[in-house]
Structure 1
Amino acid sequence: MLRTAVVCAALVSAACAGAARLTHGFQVWTEEGARRIEVALAPVPAPAVSVQGPGLAAGELRGLLANGRDISVVEFVYTHCETLCLAGGTVFQQMQAALQARATPPHVQLVSISFDPERDDPARLATYAERMAADARWWRFVRVPTATQTRTLLDAFRVVVVPDGRDFQHNAALLVVDREGRLLRIFDFAEQQLALDYALHLAEGGKP
């Protein structure tokens, strides 16, 4: 009996230790939650991938995000999406309105990055931006032009995109990137005000 109790206790202890390790001290129970904590603890630099978009000279994503001036709020989309991406577009529309309403224009930019380079060429992105009533002074639409570089970016920021035959299944979030092009925080769409407040805090010189 005593031996059985000791073995059971050891197994429970090992299980708890494993769970604590996998959930960052029981702070999270999902892969998405783990991603958010890991990014907060160790910011992720934007990889060296090319981007193209309406009204934007061809260049690197780092040049767009790490411009030394703007804090970026980033979302990942594809223009044929009729679910999560439209919800994200609504969130960005509201953020854009909040930025436009400020008496002093803040150094915050909104960036929608397409992960569907075959269909989302710059012309298609321009049409989509018009549909979203995007103001290019605040809100940029870009694509990474090759599938290989797109995968590099998605892997770096741990964005899950799974082709389902015709379209994609993907996770959705608001990513806050600093002036050096480092991903600092990840927020749910439901936390849009928190994400915007954090971006404004950084833009005003606040600490991460």
Structure 2
Amino acid sequence: MLRTTLLSLALLLGGYGAAAWLTHDFQVWTDEGARRLEVALRPLPLPDVVVDGPGIAPAALPGLLAASGQVTIADFFYTRCKTVCLSLGGSFGEMQAQLQQQGDTGVQLLSISFDGAYDSPPILARYAQTMGAKAPLWRFARVADARQQQQLLRGLGVVVIPDGMGDYEHNAALLVFDARGRMVRIFDLAEQELALNYARHLARQAATPPTATAQPGAA
């Protein structure tokens, strides 16, 4: 009886420890939650992939974001999508309007197509016009090289599954990149306001010069 009790206790403790390890001390219960926590704790550098798009000459994505000196809210989409991508576009349209209305210049929006073989710069330009995008506040880009495209999706944890009929199943999220081009937060589509406020906060931090520290012995 005692042996059975001790064995049960050992199994219980082992299961508890495994669950704690897998869920970062029970802070998350899903792979997606774990990914978001990891990004929040350790900003994720972008892979050095080349993008282009309307008004965007071929350039390395990390350099493109860093060169702007702005915080970037990005999403992944494809122009032939008739479902979640339209919701993403609607959210970006609302964020664009808020940024324009309040004169925020430290935040930009970037929609990246994961259907680079189809979504050429002219197609992206027509789509941007349909969505009411105002460059350079809201820009559109694609990764033309298929291998680099997969590298980017894997690196950022973006799930894209072809359905065999020209469409895709994919996750939808708002990705926030700091002024150095590192992914620092991931928000759900429903957390649009939270994502925008966080991006503004980062932009204000980047624009505020550090406080001078008095040197020892200074008068």
The answer to whether 1:84 aligns with 2:60 is no
CA RMSD of aligned residues (A): 1.2
Aligned to 2:150: 151
Seen in structure 2, the aligned counterparts of structure 1 residues 59 and 147 have a Cα distance that, compared at 3 Å, is same
What residue ranges of structure 2 are gaps of 5+ in the alignment?
Answer: 209-219
Q: Deviations over 1:70-117 (max 9, x none)?
A: 100010111111111111000000000000001x43211100001111
Q: Deviations over 1:145-168 (max 9, x none)?
A: 011001110111111111111211
Counterparts of 2:145 and 2:56, CA distance in 1: 17
Aligned to 1:94: 94
Name the % identity: 54
Aligned to 1:133: 132
Aligned to 2:176: 176
Counterparts of 2:37 and 2:189, CA distance in 1: 17
Aligned to 2:108: 109
How many residues in Structure 1 have an aligned counterpart in Structure 2?
206
Counterparts of 2:92 and 2:199, CA distance in 1: 13
Q: Deviations over 1:6-26 (max 9, x none)?
A: 111111111111111111111
Counterparts of 1:172 and 1:64, CA distance in 2: 23
Question: What amino acid is aligned across from residue 192 of structure 1 in structure 2?
Answer: Q
Counterparts of 1:64 and 1:140, CA distance in 2: 12
Quote how far apart the aligned CAs of 1:123 are: 0.8
- Match of 2:205, SS state, is coil
Counterparts of 2:184 and 2:89, CA distance in 1: 21
Aligned to 2:212: none
Aligned to 2:2: 2
Aligned to 2:69: 69
- Provide TM-score, normalisation by structure 2: 0.91
- Match of 2:76, SS state, is strand
Question: What amino acid is aligned across from residue 106 of structure 2 in structure 1?
Answer: H
What residue ranges of structure 1 are gaps of 5+ in the alignment?
Answer: none
Quote how far apart the aligned CAs of 1:28 are: 1.1
Q: Deviating runs (4+, > 4 A) in structure 1?
A: none
